Amino acid sequence: MDRGTFIKTSLLSAAVPLLGFGTPTESRKSTPLRFAHLSDIHVKKGIIPESGMAKALQSVNSLKDSPSFIINGGDSIMDSLEANKEETQLQWDIFKRILNENNKLPIHHCIGNHDIWGWFSKVPGIDNEPLYGKNWVVETLQMPKRYYQFQSGKWHFVVLDSTQLNPLGGYIAKIDDEQFVWLKETLNAIPKDNHICIVSHIPILSICAGLFFEKNEPNGDRLLKRNLMHTDFIQLKELFIQHPNVRLGISGHIHLQDEIEYLGVKYYNNGAVSGKWWKGNFQEFAPAYAIMELFDDGTSRRIMCEC
């Protein structure tokens, strides 16, 4: 299958948006913090997904204006919700091998719903396994924990775990009570003159979450499912209002791209490296990753890069 070619890195160095939304902002005095956001890689065994992941990493690592780091937005592997232990191990082995062979940049990981092991398995007693649930992905990617924070310059990054098991079936997009307490304490502790970027696998706010299904309900309603956008958005919105230095949110999950500014926070949903799960474009959006530019004045810009 023709996966296309990456946009030439010389264009990236010119700092012109290549795909997506908006127009270039005026020149700013500060040099931006640049990082790459790669989400929904969904790697599995096969020439197309393995070579596609490798090419995306090679493209990021060869940019003329090198990013300071990569944020992996989650759904690193195709799926472990239903996969057995052997299938899950194979997927993680492929992911780690390709990452080690093609990336030299620091990388920070976020948990995606498909990275969670065993939630949908029908194997008796699987929930007693040490690696059950999110333990496998946290251990494999050597994450500090399932949610955490880190700092780069004047920007603090708060990485959330936005996928929770739904007692009524499936999973639901939100943060749990323990995590919400941690989030409040974390935001309170960040200096007010520093800026905050919230990282979540599932969008906190997204217009495309309502466009994932290309049809209306029989009664004419648009369907916004509980696993496509944070169901605790109102609670999070009210928390962010208390912290005006929350300036940015980035996410993936729905394999579509949008950009929303709401109550002082800019939300970017940055599409998927795998596109339509390694079968070309998903709706109107090609496989892609984002280069994010964050400025000392709290503003930001996104450059979308097809892959």
Residue 203: other Cβ atoms inside 10 A: 28
Average of pLDDT values for 36-62? 98
Residue 16: is its pLDDT beyond 90? no
3-state secondary structure of 256: coil
pLDDT of residue 223: 87
Judged by average pLDDT, the poorest of 16-30, 167-181, 217-231 is 16-30
Select from 2, 6, 12 the least CA-distant residue to 63.
12
Cα separation of 219 and 21, whole Å? 32
| Average confidence score pLDDT of the chain | 92
Report the DSSP beta bridge partners of residue 257: 270
Judged by average pLDDT, the poorest of 39-53, 126-140, 212-226, 283-297 is 212-226
Residue 48: is its pLDDT beyond 80? yes
pLDDT of residue 5: 40
pTM: 0.91
Select from 170, 183, 194, 200 the least CA-distant residue to 82.
170
- Using CB atoms within 10 Å of the CB of residue 154, give its burial: 0 to 12 exposed, 13 to 18 middle, 19+ buried: middle
3-state secondary structure of 50: helix
At 65-121, the pLDDT tens digits run: 999 999 999 999 999 999 999 999 999 999 999 999 999 999 999 999 999 999 999
Average of pLDDT values for 196-200? 99
Share of the chain above pLDDT 70, in %: 91
Strand order of the sheet with strand 257-262?
148-152, 155-159, 195-199, 246-251, 265-270, 257-262
Select from 10, 4, 39 the least CA-distant residue to 292.
39
Average of pLDDT values for 181-196? 98
Phi-psi region of 27 (alpha: psi -120 to 50; beta: other; left: phi over 0): beta
Alpha-carbon torsion 242, 195, 23, 207, what sign? negative
Amino acid letter for position 92: W
Contact yes or no for 150/157 (Cβ under 8 A): yes
Backbone angles phi, psi at 92, to 5 degrees: -70, -35
pLDDT of residue 30: 75
How sure is the predictor about 28, in pLDDT bands with cuts at 50, 70 and 90?
A: low
